[in-house]
Amino acid sequence: MFRYLALIALAFAATVSAKPAPDAGNLLLKPTTDQAQAALLATRFLTRFHYKAEPLDASMSEKIFDRYFDALDADRLFFLQADIDRFTPQRDKLGDAIYDEDLSVPFAIFNLYEQRVTERTTYARELLKQGFDFSKDESYAYQRDKAPWPKTLDEVNDIWRKRVKNDWLRLVLAGKKDADIRTTLDKRYANYLDRMRQLNSEDVFQTFMNAYAMAIDPHTNYLGPRASENFDIAMKLSLEGIGAVLQLDDDYTTIREIVPGGPAATSGKFKVGDRIVGVGQGTSGSITDVIGWRLDDVVDLIRGAKDTTVRLEVLPTDAGPDGKHQLIALVRKKVNIEEQAAKSSVIEVKRGDVDRHIGVITLPTFYEDFDARRRGDADYKSATHDVAKLLAALKKQNVDGVLIDLRNNGGGSLSEAIDLTGLFVGKGPVVQVRNANGRIEQGNNTHINMVWDGPLAVLVNRNSASASEIFAGAIQDYGRGLIIGEPTYGKGTVQNLVDLDQMGQSEKTAYGELKMTIQQFFRVDGASTQLRGVTPDIAFPITADFAQNGEQTYTNALPWAAVPVADYTPTSDLKTIVPMLETLHTERTAKEKDWQAYEADIADWRKLRKETAISLNEQVRRRERDEQEKKRLERHPEIAAATGPTAKESASGTTPPVKKDGDAAQSKHVDVIPSKSSSGESSVTLVKANPAQTTTAAAAKDDAHQDDGLQADERSLKTDLAQEQARKNEKDVVLTETARILADEVDLIHGDTKLAAHVLPHPILDKDSID
């Protein structure tokens, strides 16, 4: 569960009216005394207690220096080589500066970065006055993370000329007129500058400290006070607030979704699209105008202790800018975030005269309310508790098999991975962990009895990571169920949260937390998931760009390793049935049109992802678009022809995508509820300014159909919600085929007692879920 706090202005998701370029000289940020002390305290833990503890010496300083510049300007769009050279004398001295509680250098670097962003985007706005010649044969290299720093102003200006030209061409291909294009892009670039002005010293410090933390290993992070609070909310799936999903729309904090059962919903006074323009505390506190504020700053005002009052000044969705405001008082309550909780459904697989019913449990994350568990609350919120209840309900529906969908589940609580495994294998070892001293311990399930003893499958993809890999690996090692899908992420390390305020005996919330790697985990068969992940029993096409997604993309990832096999007894043996199921899957999908279209979409998308440049010639782009559109309609005749740009154009546009395992942080918030990333990594890093977007074939198809040359934050809330609903309504051919494979297993063991004896677990006597 990770919250990505984007410090680059390009990542913020608000759109504002075009404004004069700000004077960067008035925006200099400085470190605080608390931040200097937090950096020193974090260093003491990282250099002593990390799984791969390294001294903060000259060598580590150089790594921090390089990572910090990469975090700020990953695609070499802002800094010049001379800017890097200017600070190079300090490259091996950042460690000394931390020990001296002197953070002036990283803040000076950021202030220069802010100046360069202002200069580049001001230049971009000037280019809009002249227009472009799209008959020229030139291309724009949008994948620049490995490019050298531009050496001259002319060189970086040419990069921006092509970037802006590409932005303009995308809108041309979407049917926009020149006047509208100028307005849209001028507003876009002005918004970059406006968001830059809202960055604060906590943002800068968090980015710098993550450059340090992630220089040690990819999954060690520093969480500032605000990020720490959001991490806690994401793990326990609850908060104290009003129960509304918020996002920025122009300068307004807008209600995107009303959470059922929350104060906002029960009041009956809010609608989707309502704009919050002011916030007041208590029944009589003054109203603070929040128009133009950062989303997370507004969220801080709205959140608060349970049973306290907050007053919201609201501009209704159907009112114009000068419409009548409403003042609504709400009493804050505990709000459960059910969107990220486990959910169940049933897929009916027809087999002639026989219907097989497959129960599906979708688990977005391994969540757990740590504090409630420590307090001894019997019914604390957890993935295991929720899944146990869902299994009981599915059993009452007489399902023939259960499918656990862990696609895009990036992990969560280690104890939840252990307990959840127990619901399917019973008591015994689930995982092994090794600490920095080499001591190996077993993570045993000692109190969860087997609840489901029928046919089982686990669906995974490349973004199934960490706790997902512990669960899937244990199910595979015990022979308990089929692992179906793609090779998983390959994260095999364990992190622990260190409360720096507690360790530093601070009476106020000032220092934040460290999420620090303390162990490496291993499957019960002795193998690590590190780098290699979990290999599925039945493999599906890899949807993501394998070379750019997964643990192996990190240069400082821990190596693969192995430990002795744990003392465990497999519950079942699937070796006999897997080849049969593979044959049935291959034969069926060879004739299945939807599956064939799915594989073709993936092949095209992976080919596009390997490209790093795009033509800026309009005729070439139109031809590429038309070719892609023709193929799309041939594969998906049910979809009406679209006139938007191609997936390639969308991939090269300026919409800030997530970086490998990230999630752009400022696009939406729940009052509220923090966003979730796809890899399960807690990180504070920058969103890359220019690379490709989502890497699924479904997204490629959707982008080709929907892309209008706009960034996500430039579309209306109505359009955004409609597109979100359309994505939810799309066929999930992967889930459908996985259910069919599990139904195949049910068919094969039905009436074949010998095969069933191998495939199903040993008889169980006690089916109580939790002792």
Just list the catalytic residues.
Answer: 466, 477, 491
Cβ–Cβ under 8 Å, residues 466 and 491: yes
Task: Using the CB atoms, write b or e for 432-442: b if 16+ within 10 Å.
Answer: bbbeeeeeeeb
How far apart CA 455 and CA 481 sit, in angstroms, is 7
- Long-range CB pairs of 506-513, under 8 A, 24+ apart, other chains included: 509/225, 510/34, 510/38, 510/225, 511/34, 511/37, 511/38, 511/41, 511/42, 511/225, 512/38, 512/206, 512/222, 512/223, 512/224, 512/225, 512/227, 512/228, 513/222, 513/223, 513/228, 513/231
CA distances from 403 to 19, 455, 480 (A): 53, 9, 12
Cβ–Cβ under 8 Å, residues 345 and 363: no
* Strand bridging mode 244-249 / 613-615: unpaired
SS3 (DSSP) at 314: strand
Identify the residue whose tokens are 């059993």.
395
How far apart CA 112 and CA 109 sit, in angstroms, is 5
Largest CA distance in the chain: 79
Q: What residues have CB less than 8 Å from 461, skipping those under 6 apart?
A: 407, 408, 485, 486, 488, 543, 544
CA distances from 277 to 298, 549, 725 (A): 10, 40, 27
How far apart CA 33 and CA 37 sit, in angstroms, is 6
432 φ/ψ angles, rounded to the nearest 5 degrees:
-120, 145
| Closest to 671 (Cα-Cα) out of 318, 370, 274, 316 | 274
Question: What one-character-per-residue DSSP string does 205-269 give?
Answer: HHHHHHHHHHHH-TT-EEE-HHHHHHHHHHHHTEEEE--EEEEEETTEEEEEEE-TTSHHHHHT-
